[in-house]
Every structure is written in structure tokens, then in C-alpha cells.
């Protein structure tokens, strides 16, 4: 196993650990890692109480990165985000900020209700997100930020916020857990979360980020261009800046799958670069054929959600089944979950169109359930 595969495998372990007991939030955990490897930022849109901060906090813990989290409000002060002014230096006539433990020193950050921030906060954030440089007074500090995940109940109506919002390349919409999974939500929420630390490291993120920057995009660039043409033809507009940056997401997706050359199975993050929910829904339909080869071992939920692709769905179902089959405890709840995975397999794939690896896992499910009779 080479260094790329080793780092990708560790990040898969971190994602799996952080996603445990988070019902319907695996795609968010995976999106944070994708954004970090791509060196881009993520905007999560959804109602309060949908485990946005918990998901980001858990993956940050699994990566062992320096983490900063804050809930912004109309009266939040810049010092609450970036650190207070050093009063000793101020008496000497120098404006300097004490940044210990604050956003300028974070490697992963979560800012809730981000559009509630004042103009002073958002202007400072804009420079930090763009350039990874914190500037205030005499300070010009290189920030180690890999990704900032911001959350809001909705996209802003104020056109003055558009430039700031556009710095978040990835957009993910969340809904409350559906009725059919309420038992799973209650069970997961009641379970005590085991401490997560160093399942992977920021060094693993950086290793894949370097590989992504050096990736040969020759094979996939024409596929990206064709996907963008299809979107434009359907009235789904991406700015030139977003179009160029989709390459970073495609490269990052391949690296997380343990491959050093992206191909047309890595196009799915383009959907999440579309800036509106309506545009993303249309993009999935328009790109249905282009996304049919989507698959990603590290990001099974995210790749399936973005693409609705059959290979991605098969990989996610196979992963869920193997995880259940590996559990030593086999109570009534375990049996119901395994039966649910089998039913979903049957609903998604006719027997003669079922991938061979998925068919093998389904046979294992049947054997395991027969033992429980």
C-alpha cells in the first residue's frame, strides 16, 4: 500500500468513526473531508437542531485538528472570533491580536448562523477564507485553515452578502431525519459517543491535498467541460470561478478513493458546486448519464447523494451490510437493520442487474438471518 492509499484508508476510518450514531449525516461528515482535501469551504443549509455542528465537531476530533466553533449573532464582536487586542502592545501604540485558540489558528472551523455576522467580521473572514491570511492592525498571520464549514437556515436575501457566500464552493442542504428513521435517530442520540481522536491526522489530509494539486487532469478535463456545457444548456449557471474550482473537487474525490488519476467516476462533486438547491436538483437530472459511473469508497454517502448513481448506491449498501455483519452483538435491532439493508438492495437492483460484490454480500445477509431463526 503506497502513501496515498494509506492516508486515504486512514481518512476512511476517521469518516466511519465520526459518522457512527449520526443518522442521515454521513454525507455531511464526508463533505467536510472532501472540502478539506480540496482546500475549499462548505456551506450547510438547514433548520436548527439537525446535528450540523455535531457532525463537524466529530470529524474534526477524528482528524485531531485544531478546531474552532462559534455561533454568530447580530451583536458578535470581531474579538470573539479572531481574538482580543493585546492591551500591553496597544499601550505601546501597536495594534496586535491575541489569536491563541481562535479562528486564525484553527485547522478546521465551524461558524453557525454565519450570515448574522457584522460587516467587520465578514470582511475579515472574506480575506481569511480567500487567502488563508489573517489581517488586523499590524497583524498579517498565515492561517493554517484547511476548511471552514459555515451553517445557515437559508441562503441570504441581501445581495451585499453574495460575494461572501460565493467563497463557499460546496453547498449542502439538510432536512430533519425522516419519520421512518426516528427509532434509529433516538437510538443513536441516546448512545454515548466514544471519544474520537487521531483516527487519522491533518497530515493525511495534507498528503491527499498535495496529491490532488499534482493530479493529471488530462483524462477527466473534457468530461468536466462536457458536464458544464450540459448544465449551461439546461440553464444551470456556474460562474467561471466555480467552474474552474470544480477541478479541485474532482481531484480531491479521486485521492480520497485512493486513486492518483481522476476519471469520469469522480464528476459527482460538480453537483454540490451548483449554488442553489433548485439548481442541484436539476443538475442531478441533467447529468444522470454522466454520473452513472460514480463510486467512492471513502465518500459513499456523499457520492450517492450528489449523483443518485447506481454504482455509488451499491457501494454504500455493501458498506452498510458489511458493517452490520461485522458486529458481534446480534439482537432484534440488529436483525431489523440488516433486513432493511436487504430490502433496499432488492428495491434498488433487480437480481440480474445486481453487481457481483453486492450479490455476494446479500447472500451473506441471508445466511446470517437464517442463523437467527
Q: What are the residue ranges spanned by the domains of the chain?
A: 3-190, 217-304, 311-371
Indicate if the pLDDT at residue 359 is higher than 70: yes
Cβ of 360: how many Cβ atoms within 10 Å?
A: 12
Closest CA to 111 of 38, 34, 164, 175: 164
Q: What is the pLDDT of residues 201-213, one digit of tens each?
A: 999 999 999 999 9
pLDDT at position 89: 64
pLDDT at position 195: 64
Q: What is the pLDDT of residues 248-277, one digit of tens each?
A: 999 999 999 999 999 999 999 999 999 999
Strand partners, 171: 43
Indicate if the pLDDT at residue 27 is higher than 70: yes
Put simply, whether the predicted model's pTM sits higher than 0.85 gets the answer yes
Cell digits for 128?
481569511
pLDDT at position 301: 92
**Residues 137-151: what's their mean pLDDT?**
89
Least-confidence region, from 87-91, 98-102, 322-326, 348-352:
87-91
Question: Chain-wide mean pLDDT for the chain?
Answer: 89
- Check: CB of residue 170 under 8 Å from CB of residue 272: yes
Q: Which CATH architecture has domain 3-190?
A: 3-Layer(aba) Sandwich (3.40)
Identify which has the larger pLDDT, 316 or 225: 225
**Residues 54-62: what's their mean pLDDT?**
93
Residue 1: pLDDT band (50, 70, 90) is low
In a 3-state reduction of DSSP, which class is residue 144?
coil
Indicate if the pLDDT at residue 192 is higher than 60: no
- Check: CB of residue 252 under 8 Å from CB of residue 37: yes
Indicate if the pLDDT at residue 185 is higher than 70: yes
Least-confidence region, from 3-7, 38-42, 318-322:
318-322
pLDDT at position 373: 67
Given CA atoms 123, 128, 133, 134 in this order, what sign does their dihedral have? positive
Residue 193: pLDDT band (50, 70, 90) is low
Q: What is the pLDDT of residues 310-330, one digit of tens each?
A: 887 888 888 888 888 888 888
pLDDT at position 90: 63
Residue 132: pLDDT band (50, 70, 90) is very high
DSSP labels for 248-312?
A: HHHHHHHHHTT-SS--GGG-THHHHHSSSHHHHHHHHHHTTTTTTT---SS-HHHHHHHH--HHH
Amino acid at each position: 500500500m503506497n502513501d496515498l492509499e494509506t492516508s486515504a484508508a486512514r481518512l476512511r476510518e476517521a469518516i466511519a468513526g465520526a459518522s457512527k450514531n449520526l443518522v442521515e449525516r454521513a454525507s455531511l461528515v464526508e463533505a467536510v473531508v472532501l472540502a478539506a482535501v480540496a482546500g475549499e469551504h462548505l456551506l450547510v443549509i438547514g433548520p436548527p437542531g439537525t446535528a450540523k455542528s455535531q457532525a463537524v465537531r466529530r470529524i474534526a476530533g477524528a482528524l485531531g485538528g485544531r478546531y474552532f466553533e462559534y455561533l454568530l449573532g447580530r451583536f458578535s464582536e470581531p474579538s470573539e472570533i479572531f481574538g482580543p487586542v493585546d492591551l500591553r502592545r496597544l499601550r505601546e501604540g501597536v495594534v496586535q491580536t491575541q489569536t491563541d485558540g481562535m479562528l486564525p489558528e484553527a485547522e478546521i472551523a465551524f461558524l453557525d448562523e454565519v450570515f448574522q455576522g457584522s460587516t467587520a467580521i465578514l470582511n475579515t473572514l472574506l480575506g481569511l477564507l480567500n487567502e488563508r491570511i489573517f489581517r488586523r492592525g499590524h497583524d498579517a498571520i498565515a492561517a493554517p485553515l484547511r476548511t471552514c464549514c459555515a451553517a445557515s437556515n437559508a441562503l441570504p436575501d441581501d445581495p451585499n452578502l453574495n460575494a461572501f457566500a460565493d467563497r463557499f464552493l460546496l453547498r449542502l442542504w439538510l432536512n430533519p431525519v425522516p419519520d421512518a428513521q426516528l427509532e434509529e435517530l433516538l437510538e443513536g442520540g441516546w448512545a454515548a459517543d466514544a471519544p474520537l481522536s487521531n483516527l487519522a491526522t491533518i497530515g493525511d489530509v495534507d498528503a491527499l491535498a498535495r496529491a490532488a494539486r499534482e493530479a493529471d487532469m488530462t483524462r477527466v478535463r473534457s468530461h468536466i467541460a462536457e458536464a458544464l456545457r450540459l448544465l449551461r444548456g439546461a440553464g444551470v449557471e456556474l460562474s467561471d470561478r466555480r467552474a474552474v474550482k470544480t477541478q479541485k473537487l474532482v481531484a480531491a474525490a479521486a485521492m480520497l478513493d485512493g486513486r492518483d488519476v481522476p476519471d469520469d467516476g469522480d464528476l459527482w462533486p460538480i453537483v454540490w458546486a451548483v449554488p442553489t438547491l433548485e439548481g442541484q436538483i436539476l443538475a442531478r437530472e441533467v447529468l444522470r448519464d454522466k454520473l452513472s459511473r460514480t463510486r467512492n469508497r471513502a465518500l459513499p454517502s456523499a457520492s450517492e447523494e450528489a449523483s443518485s448513481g447506481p454504482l455509488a448506491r451499491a457501494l454504500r449498501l455493501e458498506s452498510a451490510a458489511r458493517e452490520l455483519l461485522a458486529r458481534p452483538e446480534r439482537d432484534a435491532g440488529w436483525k431489523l437493520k440488516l433486513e432493511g439493508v436487504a430490502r433496499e438492495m432488492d428495491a434498488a437492483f433487480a437480481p440480474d442487474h445486481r453487481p457481483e460484490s453486492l450479490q455476494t454480500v446479500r447472500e451473506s445477509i441471508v445466511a446470517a438471518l437464517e442463523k437467527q431463526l
